[in-house]
Chain A
C-alpha cells in the first residue's frame, strides 16, 4: 500500500474521523459550513476578477477592490479549508481513490499558482493600470483563469459524491 494511502487509512480509522463519519448531524453541519465558506471565497474573488475584466465597478481602482475583498476571500478560504479537511478526515480512505477529489486537489494547486504568478508579474506595475476600465491582457488572463479554476473546483467538489 502506498504511504499516502496508508496515511489516509489511518486518518480515516482514527476515532475523530470515525466520529464525524458516523455522526447523526455533525457531518451535514460541516458540509453546510463548507458550502457557505465557498460562496464567500468565490463571491468575493469573482468581484475582483470581474472588475479586472471591466465588467463591474469600472470607476473604482483595481487596488481598492482588491483591498476590500481580500480579507473576506481569505476568511472564506480558511473556513472552507478547515471544514473541507474535516470532511476529508471522515472519508479519507475513500477520498484517496476518488478521481474527482484528485482533480479538485490539482485544480486547487493551480488556483494557488495563479495569484502567485499574477502578483510577481503584472500586479507589480498595478499602479500603471489600476484605474483603466479594461486592464492589461495578463491581468484579464489571470481573472479568467481564476474564474475558470474556481468553477472547476466547485464542480469537481460536487462531483466527488458521484464516484
Chain B
C-alpha cells in the first residue's frame, strides 16, 4: 500500500510540477529587468493582436544608422481598458517607448511605458506578468509617475 501511495504521489508530482514551471507567459520568461531601454523613433508596423500586441519602431542612432525594434505589449483587451484603442498608433507616428530588452539579445523590448503621438502615456505591460510596473492592478504603474 505504501509503495502504491508513493507511486501515486510521484505521478501526481510529475503531472502537477512540470506544467507549473511554465506558469503563464511572465515578464521574466522573455525579458531582462536589468536592461532598461528607451526607444525614440517612428512606427513601421502595428500588430493589434492576442495574446500580445506588437509594434515596430525605426530608431536612428548617433551615426545615422536605422535599426528596427520590436515592442511587445499587452493584448487588445488590456490596452483598450487603459484607453489605448486600436488605430491610435499609425505608421509613421513618432513614439517614445520605455521598456526592457529581450534576454536573447534580439532587438525586442517589453514596452512598459509608451508615449503616444498625442502625448498620452500608457502602461503597456501585460496584467500580472510580474515585470517592472506590474502593481497587481490591470492599469499597472508607469515608472516615474506613481509613488510605488
Chain A positions within 8 Å of B, measured between CB atoms, are: 20-25, 27-28, 31, 50, 54-55, 90-91, 147, 151, 154-155, 158-159, 161-162
Q: Which of A21, A54, A55 contacts B50 (CB 8 A)?
A: A21
Specify the main secondary structure of chain A where it touches its partner: helix
Render B18-62 as a binary contact track against A, CB cut-off 8 A, 1 for contact: 110010110001100000000000000000111100000000000
Q: Which of B4, B22, B48 contacts A55 (CB 8 A)?
A: B4
A27 in contact with B22 given A55-B7, A162-B29 (CB within 8 Å): no
Q: Which of A20, A90, A91, A147 contacts B11 (CB 8 A)?
A: A147
Complex contacts, B70 vs chain A, CB 8 Å: none
Q: Which of A22, A50, A159, A161 contacts B76 (CB 8 A)?
A: A22
Complex contacts, A147 vs chain B, CB 8 Å: 11, 15
Q: Which of A25, A154, A161 contacts B51 (CB 8 A)?
A: A161
A159 in contact with B75 given A55-B7, A151-B15 (CB within 8 Å): no
A162 in contact with B22 given A21-B50, A23-B50, A151-B14 (CB within 8 Å): yes
Is B18 a contact partner of A90 (Cβ separation < 8 A)? no
Additional 19 contacts, C-beta under 8 A, given A21-B49, A155-B18, A159-B22: A20-B50, A22-B48, A22-B49, A22-B76, A23-B77, A24-B76, A24-B77, A28-B75, A28-B77, A31-B51, A90-B50, A147-B11, A151-B14, A151-B18, A158-B22, A161-B24, A161-B25, A161-B51, A162-B25
Q: Which of B19, B51, B77 contacts A158 (CB 8 A)?
A: B19
- A30 closest partner in B (C-beta): B50
Complex contacts, A28 vs chain B, CB 8 Å: 50-51, 75, 77
Instruction: Give Cα A161–Cα B18 distance, bound, in whole angstroms.
Output: 16
- A58 closest partner in B (C-beta): B4
- A54 closest partner in B (C-beta): B4
Instruction: Give Cα A158–Cα B24 distance, bound, in whole angstroms.
Output: 8
Complex contacts, B14 vs chain A, CB 8 Å: 151
Is A22 a contact partner of B86 (Cβ separation < 8 A)? yes
Is A27 a contact partner of B75 (Cβ separation < 8 A)? yes
Instruction: Give Cα A22–Cα B75 distance, bound, in whole angstroms.
Output: 8
B35 CB → nearest A CB, Å: 19
Is B80 a contact partner of A27 (Cβ separation < 8 A)? no
